[in-house]
Amino acid sequence: MSFIHSLFCRHGADNRQRYFLINLAAAFAFALTALVFKQYPAIQILFLAVLASVLTFSGLRRLRDASKNNYWLLSSVLLFVLVGLLIIVSDSLSSVWLLIAPLLSSTILLTYPSTHTASSAAANYILGYSGPVDLTNFQKPGVQSRRRVEPVIEGEQLNNPAHSINHESTVVETGLVSPRQDNDLGTKCRTLLDSGLRQLENKLSISRPLLLGALLATVAILLTIIGLSTSSWLSHNDSQSSDSTSPNQSASIDNDQDQQIDQLLSFGQMDFQHQVTLPDNFDLASNQYQGLALLWQGDNSDQQQLWHIATASGDKSCQEIAFNNKKRFRTVSVSVDQYGDYTALFSPIDRSTLVKALAKAGSFELCGYRFSLKGSQATLGKHNYYQQFLN
């Protein structure tokens, strides 16, 4: 818990390494959160607020470590919040790459070296942090001070400690440490950036705060435009990819689905049995699935599938057989071949009652065709298979 406490500490100091790692970890953490909780924007907003707080405290500690009070250097936090909200609103994971912008903005604070680099206070940094929170548990054991112990012979030192102290003070006072600071890469980068901003100030005749505010606003507007453009471009590509299926491919898919439905509900490949011709020139037959079928010769049709119960589409006059005694039975499917031979299939559930209706009714109508049932009872009664349903 002490490490987490150090992340929210207001009075400590962070060196450059710790500050950079915190910014990098925050960017990766929010990207992962946006991926895992894509459907929960409330969780993303809550996590964004927590990460923004961590970045704010780390920025304040970095300013304190560099002995600066330029709070505009914390603008990277505002940029991080803006990019995070843009990712949440756009609902597009492709905009996660925009998190590079606040990372680049945070590098400005990395150009300032620590004011304690050349002093003994550097030994107080633990995991890049120096402050009131106790992190000694994370310090490696066995680390001892490298203070030189002078040998003593008969109560006298071989070397004069005063000379050693004077030598150390001379090193500090003569400025032997300053070349290290002068050669600091961050200082050089900041010098170049400062010269560039100074040139812009002279050309535009505006103050530094206004210039930095204008640059920040420009970057924010550009990020917004880029994020929205990327989101719309991806959605447009998705719609094009979904529409890219050719009509032939769509028709092929539909045909495959129809064939699967036909195999499921049309009892597969028909093997008609017990076929008998009734007086009005239509046939009654059964199949291997105990279903019944009516077959007759009719007009040619451009469509092979006139009606199918699976899709409930087609010729409405073929969806049921209607008897003159008001009895009706729904068909499973009605098809016609190239020679005009019609086949109407019925469910095995209606087998017994359908045979009785064909024997006792006077007529029926199906697919616009009307058939007389005069003499059908006698014909069915002579057939051993259908006789069992009439008794």
**Per-residue pLDDT reduced to its tens digit, 349-379:** 999 999 999 999 999 999 999 999 999 999 9
d(CA 57, CA 63): 10
Calculate helix-pair angle for 100-110, 41-65, nearest 10 degrees. 10
Type and span of the H or E element at 210: helix 208-243
d(CA 99, CA 80): 7
Residue 113 near residue 124 (C-beta atoms within 8 A): no
d(CA 23, CA 103): 7
Which range has the top average pLDDT, 120-129, 196-205, 335-344? 335-344
pLDDT at 237: 57
Residue 331 near residue 307 (C-beta atoms within 8 A): yes
pLDDT at 224: 64
pLDDT at 327: 92
The percent of residues in the chain predicted with pLDDT above 70, rounded, is: 65
Average pLDDT of span 77-86: 89
Q: How far is CA 145 from the centre of its chain?
A: 53
Of 89-93, 190-194, 256-260, 328-332, the poorest mean pLDDT is in 256-260
Which range has the top average pLDDT, 184-193, 244-253, 325-334? 325-334
pLDDT band (50, 70, 90) for residue 138: confident
Average pLDDT of span 161-170: 45
Is the model's pLDDT at 60 over the cut of 50? Answer: yes
pLDDT at 261: 46
pLDDT at 5: 84
Binning the chain into helix, strand and coil, the percentages to the nearest 5 are 55, 15, 30
Average pLDDT of span 23-47: 90
Q: What is the pLDDT of residues 243-262, one digit of tens each?
A: 554 455 555 555 555 554 44
Residue 102 near residue 79 (C-beta atoms within 8 A): yes
d(CA 52, CA 60): 12
Q: Which amino acid is at 13?
A: A
Structure tokens at 131: 């402050």
pLDDT at 254: 52
More confident residue, 249 or 91: 91
- Domain ranges in the chain are 2-139+171-234, 270-390
Is the model's pLDDT at 338 over the cut of 90? Answer: no
